[in-house]
Amino acid sequence: MSIVVAYSPDVYGRAALEHGARLAQADDEQLVLVNATRGESLVDRRYAHEDEVAELVGRWQAAGVRIDVRRDLVADVAEAVLDAAEETGARLVVVGVRRRSPVGKALLGSVAQRLILDAECPVLAVKPER
């Protein structure tokens, strides 16, 4: 069993990681951090810097959490998270959600929405503190 966190280097991703890691710590479970990109643009600000990931991993490992990182170039980011959840037999997927305007909803896909609808296990939708 594991807890999968869909991570992006912003307040939403950090909130998700915070909650996921706390749960993993409490239940002593494997934490899987997924940070994927479609690799279609030269710069993807939702793809974390390696140093940043290393720092996060170090911090939570020091707190006694077993943490596994998956960083990939994939065709579909939501799919990558779902695959990771299935492979590691996740009991929970944690994802940060943001407010979206009606136009934004119509135009852009949402990784969080795909995860909530398609995941086999429960999904915890986290909002950053205001």
Token pair 């596994």 in the structure block, residue: 68
Could you tell me which stretch among 45-53, 62-70, 78-86, 98-106 binds another protein (CB under 8 A)?
Answer: 45-53
Shortest Å, Cβ 46 to another protein: 9
Shortest Å, Cβ 110 to another protein: 16
> Considering the rule CB under 8 A, would residue 7 count as an interface residue with another protein?
no
> Considering the rule CB under 8 A, would residue 98 count as an interface residue with another protein?
no
Distance (Å) of CA 130 to CA 11, 15, 98, 99, 127: 10, 11, 12, 12, 9
Could you tell me which stretch among 17-25, 26-34, 35-43, 94-102 binds another protein (CB under 8 A)?
Answer: 35-43
DSSP line for 72-91: EE-S-HHHHHHHHHHHTTEE
Residues numbered 58 to 77 that lie near another protein (CB under 8 A) are: 73, 75
> Considering the rule CB under 8 A, would residue 103 count as an interface residue with another protein?
no
Within 10 Å of residue 125's Cβ, how many Cβ atoms?
A: 15
> Considering the rule CB under 8 A, would residue 38 count as an interface residue with another protein?
yes
Could you tell me which stretch among 3-11, 17-25, 32-40, 105-113 binds another protein (CB under 8 A)?
Answer: 32-40
Tokens at residue 116, please? 């909530």
Phi, psi of 39 (to 5 degrees): 60, 30
Q: Which of 2, 8, 35, 37 contacts another protein by CB under 8 A?
A: 37
- Angstrom distance (rounded) from CA 12 to CA 5: 11
